A and B are shown apart, each in its own frame.
Chain A
Amino acid sequence: MEWIQQLVNGVSLGSIYALIALGYTMVYGIIKLINFAHGDVFMLGAFIGFYAIVRWDMHFILALLLAMLLCAIIGVVIERVAYKRLRNSTRIAALITAIGISLLIEYTVIFFRGASPEAYPNVVPNKTFEIFGAQIGVQSILILGISVVLMILLQFIVHKTKIGKAMRAVSHDADAARLMGINVDNTISATFAIGSALAGAAGVIFGIYYTRIEPLMGVLPGLKAFVAAVLGGIGIIPGAMVGGLVLGVVETIVSALGYSLWRDAAAFVILILILILRPAGIFGKNTREKV
């Protein structure tokens, strides 16, 4: 059953995209900024996890948590240092700053450790299960498990906690939220922290699954995760999950059909089609422009 196996591979890849896309979509939903540096936070998460496992002999769950924690801090620092001052400036200025931060992170990492790739250690036994005749690795199941747990946790935070309520309020109308006594600055920082933590987790998972990490690895998954966010409807959390999974499955199908060199183009073709046909995304509502 070749196609079940491909489907599982696609869903594993898709859940990584989904985790990154969640950060994009949350940040976009709350301050209308495409956080280009998000893919690089993902890369930093992968490297933190790598050093935690290899240098400090941590268990990989601990390494995952450490990567999430440090990425959350990095995300908040980026927001406080760069994006906070730009909240009232033009969109182009904010976007260019985000690109600048992204380049700065990438090349600072290259500056300190070189551009050479690293190989992730094997932390999960390389066993495979046979389900309906398909070979399914323990790694895929682990990735899926971690992603699902994180997404449920995120849903819980957004819908059941006070900070989640504040986040929803700020993304709906920041000024009204401020009048209601919500600390908008802290809420935005919390959004960055949660989104970056998810990206960090995605980085560690990516390292375990693909074993090869390098300083520029965040660029393409970052862009594709953004495509996933747009596909699902940017600013909508379930949209990012669905978008990520769809994108992962489509990419795997394209590879499986023998067009693996065209794989990267598939994401952008999807992006352009969705932008032209349904710019609000699968789950989005159309909004009219007002003066």
Chain B
Amino acid sequence: MKKSKVFWGYIVLALVIYAVVQLLINSGTVNFYYENMLITICINIMLAVSLHLVIGITGQFSIGHAGFMAIGAYLSAIGTMKLEMPFITAILLGAVVAALAGLLVGIPSLRLKGDYLAIATLGFAEIIRIVFLNIDYVGGAAGLQIMRQSSWGYAFFAVVITILVIANFTKSRHGRACIAIREDEIAADAMGINTTYYKVVAFVIGSFFAGVAGAVYAHNFYIIQPTTFGFLKSFDILILVVLGGLGSLSGSVLAAIFLTVVTTYLQGFPETRMIIYSLVLIIVMLYRPTGLLGTKEITDVFKFGKKGGSKL
């Protein structure tokens, strides 16, 4: 009873946010510049939340997220520009292929631990980028021209679905298995959790939504090039998750919103932006290694003093 009430509460909240912003866009109060910023925020939230599932919940340190985003971007672009699919189908195509790539990458590399996994995912992401660089069908280094089809509606509902799926996954039995792996992999294994299976599942779901984000991204910027999806992009996503808190979904969302706004205003000074980013990263790690929110959720704040600490 209570659970579903909270759930519908959030759905209604999401619809209200959507309607209000859409109204503002239609009436012209929010101009193209800000609409673009809102879509970028949505894309970054999807990327951050999907990486949060891999790093924050399952504890698998992947720094190749931009590779899956690239797959989503390119495949959806091929879908709309070459095969003339509708945008929704193209997004799904990109996401499914990204998920398949996640499966393909995840099965061998998730046997590795910690640092090795990080480097392997980075290597895979680079290979994906170099493959796109060498395929003339998608334009090679010059990139692929794309018609703009993303809108606030698409971006927002993609975010809602992403958060919904990942939040529910986290709260489910599978999510708890993933958290157990994060806390202590050997102990989780000893308790009968199929650690490889859950690690791969989390990785595939993360890749799927990175693909969705890539698809929305590709159809928002008119052109995609392999250089966009280098490891700097992966680090950008990593910063969102780390800053928000390793293991906090709402933290990732807040960090994505905050840093996107900061980035937009620092667009003229990319070096300054990166210096600030890296300093933030170092200082957060030195003084608060769990990230700003740790594993807490922002919704926990509203539950103080309630009897029995009700859980969502």
Contact = CB atoms under 8 A, between A and B. Distances in A.
Interface of A: 32, 34, 82, 85-86, 89-97, 99-104, 106-108, 110-111, 219, 223, 226-227, 230, 261-262, 264-265, 267-269, 271-272, 275-276, 279, 289, 291
11 contacts: A89-B285, A89-B289, A92-B55, A92-B114, A97-B282, A97-B286, A106-B274, A223-B119, A261-B134, A265-B130, A267-B123
Contact of A275 (B120, B277, B279, B289): B120
Nearest to B277: A103
A100 B281 contact: yes
Given A265-B126, A268-B126, A230 B286 contact: no
B24 interface: no
Contacts of A227: 119, 123
Contacts of A103: 235, 274, 277-278, 281
A111 B275 contact: yes
A43 to B, nearest CB: 15
Interface stretch (B105-113, B150-158, B170-178, B212-220): B105-113
A96 B285 contact: yes
B122 interface: yes
Interface residues of B, number: 41
A276 B108 contact: yes
A100 B271 contact: no
Contact of B281 (A99, A106, A230, A261): A99
A275 to B, nearest CB: 5
B87 interface: no
Contacts, number: 118
B237 to A, nearest CB: 12
B112 A261 contact: no
Contact of A111 (B59, B271, B277): B271
B115 A107 contact: no
Given A82-B286, A85-B286, A95 B127 contact: no
Contacts of B279: 100, 104
A20 to B, nearest CB: 15
A289 B190 CA distance: 14
A209 B289 CA distance: 41
Interface in B231-282: 231, 235, 238, 242, 246, 271-272, 274-275, 277-279, 281-282
B238 A99 contact: yes
A222 to B, nearest CB: 11
Contacts of B203: none
Q: Is the interface of B mostly helix, strand, loop or mixed?
A: helix
Q: Is the interface of A mostly helix, strand, loop or mixed?
A: helix
Given A265-B130, A268-B124, A95 B115 contact: yes
Contacts of B68: none
A289 B122 CA distance: 24
Contacts of B109: 272, 275-276
A219 B281 contact: no
Contacts of B186: 289, 291
Nearest to B283: A100
A59 B155 CA distance: 59
Contacts of A279: 112, 116
B193 interface: no
A95 B118 contact: yes
B275 A262 contact: no
A82 B282 contact: yes
Identify the interface centre among A91, A96, A107, A268: most chain B CB within 10 Å of its CB: A96
Closest 9 CB pairs of A and B: A100-B281, A268-B123, A103-B278, A107-B274, A104-B278, A100-B282, A93-B289, A265-B130, A97-B285
B97 interface: no
Given A92-B61, A97-B286, A111-B271, 6 more contacts: A91-B61, A96-B281, A108-B275, A264-B130, A265-B126, A271-B120
B131 interface: yes
Nearest to B272: A111
Contact of B116 (A90, A104, A230): A230
A275 B116 contact: yes
B127 A96 contact: no
Contacts of A219: 231
A265 B134 CA distance: 11
A104 B274 CA distance: 7
Contacts of A90: 289
Contact of A34 (B118, B130, B242, B289): B118
A240 B272 CA distance: 36
Contact of A264 (B112, B126, B246, B286): B126
